[in-house]
Structure 1
């Protein structure tokens, strides 16, 4: 009877530990009945139809949206997107080529908020197409974004990421030919296995300095205003920090260890009282 009570208490503990994880993974379930959830920022935003030509003019795109752009062979095309802790971003790019062209090599690169080039875990980051090929598809799967890293490491950290798409080793005859680009960014939630101890104070989001022109005594002077952060932000905002499903697995492991200890004790203690040893006569 005591074993049954202990097992019931352990199962109740497991249910209480898994409750916060379920609430965290499906926040929309907590809305009152009959209410309509408000659309996120990316749902109402239209996909951009242009690309920047440098890091500072990169076009902001939301994850899950397909951005398009018309350009010329030889141009550098830039987009930016946000990536949060525990996510593994995947960048896919498709370039529609003109009917007649020589062999070309296209490449997509991804940089973090410090403009450090991030290595692709897998995917066709660079491809060479034969003459007359209609399109080329590229992909880059980044490593999982970490909450914290050593200063000398090149680990991906939360913040703004840049996508650069361009053709390399282009012949002079192909420069300036019209091309069409399409870029889409998606992320996979890795969760607890990517959790680390430590966290950045703020995500690596570049500041855009705003300046105003003031005319004084016929001379143009510049007065700097406080820098404004980039508008890119994940749906639901940046990760607040302390919660991770690693807490759930830790609680489950502790409960299983307790159950194993109780079961082992119940099996080894025996069911009856120990028999008395007969006294030895002299």
Structure 2
């Protein structure tokens, strides 16, 4: 009976430790919703220097003329895989003179164009189409990279939206655009040893400052390492408890 009670206490302690650590993991990686509550911008910049800063999960809008270059910027941290989505509401078909091709490009803080893992980065639409949707999913942002590499690094990212093919008569027609950037947390499995001394955040107008979205040295690998250590310790204590016996000397039958 005593061994059974010890076993139950051991598994109860293990379950409690697992629950506490996984709860702490969720709290540590949860996104801060305060920024998303802010009002999203309703305009876009016309160059890298004047790019309109947005936060992730904000849906920014802007009115523009066909042929304009529209720029936004957003922050991305290590371990995130950003996806940028853009929608363009086109003028009425009766006002247009042919098909159009729209495109989005994403650049890092050094203004290096980043390739898309997947997504419709450029799309041609017929003359009677009412809208066009575009998307670009980047590679996972790394905490550190070789200077010569083109890996995505923590910092500011720029989005450029423009039309790349259309009839000359359609230049200047009004359009409405919307854009949103969000990320999937890829977890500690993508973490690397090393970090930047500072995120790639140029000190230019319209960019997001270096604030607490940059997590620095922290990754979820620390939590899972701690969880493994706790479970290993509990397993050792449980094994010792189950194998040492009750601790009482054996009963000796009385002699006659």
TM over 0.5: yes
Q: Which residues of 2 match residues 51-130 of structure 1 at below 5 A? A: 51-98=44-91, 99=93, 100-130=96-126
Unaligned runs of 5+ in 2: 241-256
Give the secondary-structure state (helix, strand or coil) at the position aligned to 1:196. coil
Scaled by the length of structure 2, the TM-score of the pair is 0.78
TM-score by length of structure 1 reads: 0.71
What is the distance in 2 between the residues matched to 1:122 and 1:69?
25
Using the TM superposition, give the Cα deviation of residue 157 of structure 1 relative to its aligned residue in structure 2, in angstroms: 0.7
Tell me if structure 2 keeps the 8 A contact 1:14–1:251.
Answer: no
Question: Residues 197 and 102 (structure 1 numbering): CA distance in 2 closer, same or farther, change over 3 Å?
Answer: same
What is the 5 A alignment of 1:105-184?
105-184=101-180
Relative distance call for 1:63 and 1:17 in structure 2 (3 A) is: closer
Aligned with residue 208 of structure 2, among 215, 229, 232: 232
Q: For 2:46 and 2:79, how far apart are their aligned partners in 1?
A: 30
Question: What is the 5 A alignment of 1:43-58?
Answer: 43-44=37-38, 46-58=39-51
Task: Name the residue aligned to 1:204.
Answer: 200
- Cα deviations by residue, 1:17-58 (Å, 9 ceiling, x for unpaired): 546424424599xxxxxxxxxx724423x2222111111111
2:81 and 2:186 in contact (8 A); partners too: yes
Kept in 2, the 8 Å contact 1:76–1:165? The answer is yes
Q: Which has the higher mean CA deviation after the structures are superposed, 72-81 or 6-15?
A: 6-15
**Count, aligned residues:** 237
Task: Give the corresponding residue for 2:191.
Answer: 195
8 Å Cα contact 2:156-2:207 kept in structure 1: no
* Relative contact order higher in (CA < 8 Å, ≥ 6 apart): 2
Indicate the RMSD between aligned Cα atoms, in angstroms: 3.3
Query: Contact 2:115–2:138 (CA<8 Å) still a contact in 1?
Result: yes
Deviations, residues 238-262 of structure 1 (Å, cap 9, x unaligned)? 3332332212333444566778899
Gaps of 5+ in 1: 29-38, 209-228, 266-282
